[in-house]
Structures are given as structure tokens and as C-alpha cells.
Chain A
Amino acid sequence: EAQVTQNPRYLITVTGKKLTVTCSQNMNHEYMSWYRQDPGLGLRQIYYSMNVEVTDKGDVPEGYKVSRKEKRNFPLILESPSPNQTSLYFCASSLAFSSYEQYFGPGTRLTVT
């Protein structure tokens, strides 16, 4: 089944404790992206990757890191999480950067205390 998977689905952590949210897609998509969703603000892009080893900042990149060493995986790293990073996070992928039809993962709900 073609899908985007994220792990974990739920995470409660404390300020400053490094964490990684994994994202994997099995559709051989070139383009991958991370979003955060907050009430009333919709989806805001954190980082995106047009292909392996090519990443760029989205609208809200501060406090996040990403890497794209393989085509299928695009982990999101929070080196020192803070409470304002409490949010619902989505990974998405599409065939290419010019293909705007993105497929989303199920989401990761992160709480930082």
C-alpha cells in the first residue's frame, strides 16, 4: 500500500531533550516536506527536500533540523525542544517538487513540557 508513515504518533517530552520524528514514504517520491499544524493557523511548512541531500527552509524552520540521506526517509530533528514546539506535525511527499499533489502521513502529536 502506497503510504507515508510517521513515528511516533504521540510523544510527550521535556524541554531540552533531543528528539527525532521519523518519516518514510514507499512511493519513490522525490519531494518531501514537514509541516506543523496549530489551531487557527493551518499548515505551516517547516522544511522541505526536493531530492536526496537537497533540503531548504520553509516558513517556520527555527528550532528544527532535517536530513535527507535516502530518498524514502526524511527525519525531523528537534535538538532542544521548547514548549512553543508543542504541535501536530505532518510529513508529506509528492512525486516531484513541481507536482503539487502531496500525500500526508498520519501526524505526530508532540507535547513539550
Chain B
Amino acid sequence: GQQLNQSPQSMFIQEGEDVSMNCTSSSIFNTWLWYKQDPGEGPVLLIALYKAGELTSNGRLTAQFGITRKDSFLNISASIPSDVGIYFCAGQPSMMDSNYQLIWGAGTKLIIKP
């Protein structure tokens, strides 16, 4: 099935650094979602985006729905230890035959260097 390209695959950062990750698609999407998965738990929704160009914040997290509708970005400012985990993007394609199912990225694993 269709896939999203999520990058980077993993990130090693120092506490206090800003983090950026993104998801791209070859086709247009109507909705972009960003989830976080803590170790040993299920993914939890962080931010939902529904309009091209939309910029939405949730605390230190900011996500954007790309103008082309083919990408989305997630930024985390001033990272802290509890930010570690896997971040997933997910999107709903605008294709008529998409069956309304979400397409998922492979995840970005965030690791904070001691």
C-alpha cells in the first residue's frame, strides 16, 4: 500500500536542543496527524492538522501542514528527557479510492544523549 516517508529514522540529541522531523508523500493528503509512542505503550495523538498551511502548537511541540499538502513537519523546542520515544506521522490521502484509511510513517526514534 501507499507509504509515507518519515525522516530522520532516529535522532540523538542533547537535552535542551530543538528537534525537527518531517513526513512526505508523493500524493496529496487531506489530514496530517502526529503521534508519540512512549516505550511500552501505545501511540498517543499529539497534534492533528486539517488545512494546508495550518500551524498548530501543543506546548513545546509545533506541527505544520505543508502548503503543497504533500508534507508535514513536527518541531520540538528545548527537548527534555521525557521527549524520548517514537514519533509517528499519519495522513489521510485525498484520493477517491483511499477508503479513508490512515497511512502511517515508519516513525522517528528520539534518543537523548546523557
Enumerate chain A interface residues (CB-CB to B < 8 A): 4, 40-45, 48, 56, 58-59, 90, 92, 97-98, 100-107
Contacts and interface: CB of A to CB of B under 8 A. Distances in A.
B41 A106 contact: yes
Contacts, number: 49
B12 to A, nearest CB: 17
A40 B41 CA distance: 17
B63 to A, nearest CB: 14
- Nearest 5 interchain pairs by C-beta: A104-B42, A42-B106, A59-B1, A43-B104, A42-B104
B106 to A, nearest CB: 4
B48 interface: yes
A103 B31 CA distance: 16
Interface of B: 1, 6, 9, 31, 33, 40-45, 48, 88, 90, 92, 99-102, 104-107
Contacts of B106: 40-42
Contacts of A56: 99
Given A42-B104, A48-B101, A104 B43 contact: yes
A97 B92 CA distance: 11
A97 B100 CA distance: 7
Contacts of B48: 100-101
A100 B106 CA distance: 18
B45 A102 contact: yes
A100 B90 contact: yes
B100 A107 contact: no
B102 A42 contact: no
Contact of B102 (A102, A103, A104, A107): A102
B99 to A, nearest CB: 8
A42 B45 contact: no
Contacts of B9: 40
Nearest to A4: B42
